[in-house]
Amino acid sequence: NAAAAADALSQRGFDRVFLAASPALDALLDEAYARALQAIVDQSQAQTVLLPASTMGRSVAPRLGVLLGSGLASDVTELAADGEKRPVATKPRFGGNLLVKLAVKGKPAVLSVRPMAYPRAEAASAGTVVGVTVDPAAWGLKTRFASFASEESAEVDLGAAEKVVSGGRGLGGPEQFSLIRELARALGAGVGASRATVDAGWIPYKHQVGVTGRTVRPRLYVACGISGQIQHLGGMSASDVIVAINTDKDCPMMKLANFAVHGDLNELIPAIIAAIQKVRGEAPVPAGAK
């Protein structure tokens, strides 16, 4: 419900929230969203446009940049401003091995920013919702909506999770991710992974945490068998509490962690799960159970 979303945003410290509502936007077409945003920018005279670097945001941002004839920076992890008040965007390059800073020229500037790169805005004084009139018939859309299929999963969404349990190469193999899932289930946490395990085919990319994957900001992050390469740390170092389990007591993740547990995760994780179940008065769950 666009009106409800606009009202919710108006409580987050925005002076004005522009709302473009049309049945043509119900079909989730990136092309249509870019056109609607163009109308909003034209009416609001916005100088900077921020979009989430989500699957849709990565598609809409360049489309909008072309429509506006403006500068574009995508997949941004940090924002600042130069002496001329132009946006300066930090983003990963070369597989996350390098961070570059880009001064975005031209106005309005369009930037897609990593979800969770910044803390969630707290509730503030209410702003005003401003309606924007759009004319989809004049857009000349080249795509049309065919069908929609939702992905059903019992797993906690990684991007919104308040607790995340991640596994790395220290697990020893893909089958050991069953331990990660069991601990995540016991904690009510999302399942994350290092880039190395994703590259090895142990777990799908949607679980990858890091500058080339998802950026997370949970209350609790448990890193199991993850050494802590800079690419991974860049996606989770803002977590409130970090727990690391590793056989290498000198690895970067163990040094970063609030609580570092030195030992064999194949012994420690089952012990942690059993302790959680004991506190809750739950019966032990057999290893590998769904």
pLDDT digits (tens, 9 = 90+) for 140-168: 988 888 887 776 667 788 888 999 999 99
Alpha-carbon span 101 to 124, nearest angstrom: 31
Q: Per residue in 67-79, pLDDT tens?
A: 999 989 998 989 9
Residue 85 confidence (pLDDT): 84
Residue 287 confidence (pLDDT): 52
Label residue 28 left, alpha or beta by phi (over 0 means left) and psi (-120 to 50 means alpha): left
CA neighbours within 13 Å on the CB side: how many for 27?
14
Residue with tokens 């897609």: 112
Residue 269 confidence (pLDDT): 96
Average pLDDT value for residue range 268-286 = 83
Alpha-carbon span 219 to 221, nearest angstrom: 7
Cβ burial, residue 138 (10 Å; 0-12/13-18/19+): exposed
Separate counts of helices (H) and strands (E) for the chain: 8, 13
Residue 286 confidence (pLDDT): 53
Residue 2 confidence (pLDDT): 82
Cβ burial, residue 26 (10 Å; 0-12/13-18/19+): exposed
**Of 245, 237, 234, 232, which Cα lies nearest the Cα of 218?**
237
Q: Per residue in 56-103, pLDDT tens?
A: 999 999 999 999 999 899 989 899 988 888 899 998 887 667 788 998
| All CATH 3.40.50.620 domain ranges in the chain, comma separated | 2-138
**Of 55, 67, 62, 65, which Cα lies nearest the Cα of 28?**
55
Q: Per residue in 227-263, pLDDT tens?
A: 999 889 988 998 999 999 999 999 999 999 999 999 9
Residue 50 confidence (pLDDT): 93
AA identity, residue 289: A
Topology given in CATH for the domain delimited by 2-138:
Rossmann fold (3.40.50)
Confidence of residue 283 (pLDDT cuts 50, 70, 90): low
| All CATH 3.40.50.1220 domain ranges in the chain, comma separated | 163-280
Share of the chain above pLDDT 90, in %: 57
Position 290 pLDDT exceeds 50: no
CATH among 3.40.50.1220, 3.40.640.10, 3.20.20.70, 3.20.20.60 for 163-280:
3.40.50.1220
**Of 58, 46, 60, 55, which Cα lies nearest the Cα of 18?**
46
Residue with tokens 């962690």: 257
Average pLDDT value for residue range 15-44 = 91
Q: Per residue in 178-220, pLDDT tens?
A: 999 999 999 999 999 999 999 999 999 999 999 888 989 999 9
Position 112 pLDDT exceeds 50: yes
AA identity, residue 158: L
The more confident residue out of 222 and 160 is 222
Cβ burial, residue 69 (10 Å; 0-12/13-18/19+): exposed
